[in-house]
Structure 1
Amino acid sequence: MAKKRILIIDDDAELGEEMAEILEAEGYSVEKVSDGLKGIELIRKNIYNVFLLDFKIQGMTGIDLLKIIRKKDPKAAVFFVSGRPGLDAILAAESLSDEIKGIIEKPFDSELLLEKVRACHA
């Protein structure tokens, strides 16, 4: 079975690296970028099973990235990674709650991260 591919887009490079190490140790193929424009390039060029998106990244939001992902792959698993309280209310207001698999709060719990990603492939 092919490795599941994950793209992390988070302007906190250290956090992105930490998430990548945890996921790679579980056998996932992970790419990470800390720039939204580079993330858009990768979204357009490659196929991923799971996306971990910072909600606010350099002049854009995770919602902007989500729209680009959905044009290419309406079924990909997308999580927002955020330390922002009340994000679920923002998503509900934007009618996007059904578009994502969930929110991973910063600072994140590694077991919870793995549990959420594994659930996408059960």
Structure 2
Amino acid sequence: MPTKERFNLKRLYERARDLVALHEHERKERFLPYYYLLAREMGEEVPEEDFRFALAVATYALENALWTEQDEELYEFLKYVVEKYGREDYWKYAEKSRLPLQDYLKANYDFR
């Protein structure tokens, strides 16, 4: 199981919080699932449905994103939370999602 030593939780959380605050509409939506996962790990309350959706996005990203060395910290965090809380079926959320699932994959570039 990946460990928390492989990523800086506080730095990732602050980056996600800043990205959500900086952008509006669709671009903001792209970062929310990552923010929800990070907020939960930081001890904040996150509605269960939002958290489950965020796990689905994390599962989708781990299976479909093109990861580079620059993305290693986010990748390790996503692996950690998916292994800690369990995989979530992203197809269950695909129709309910405000964005196509592929759009969430673009977020990893902004976390660099």
User: Would you say same fold, with TM above 0.5?
Assistant: no
- Please give the TM-score of this superposition, normalised by the length of structure 1: 0.28
Q: Tell which has more relative contact order, 1 or 2 (C-alpha 8 A, sep 6+).
A: 2
TM-score where L is the length of structure 2 = 0.30
More helix by share: 2
Where is the strand percentage greater, Structure 1 or Structure 2?
1
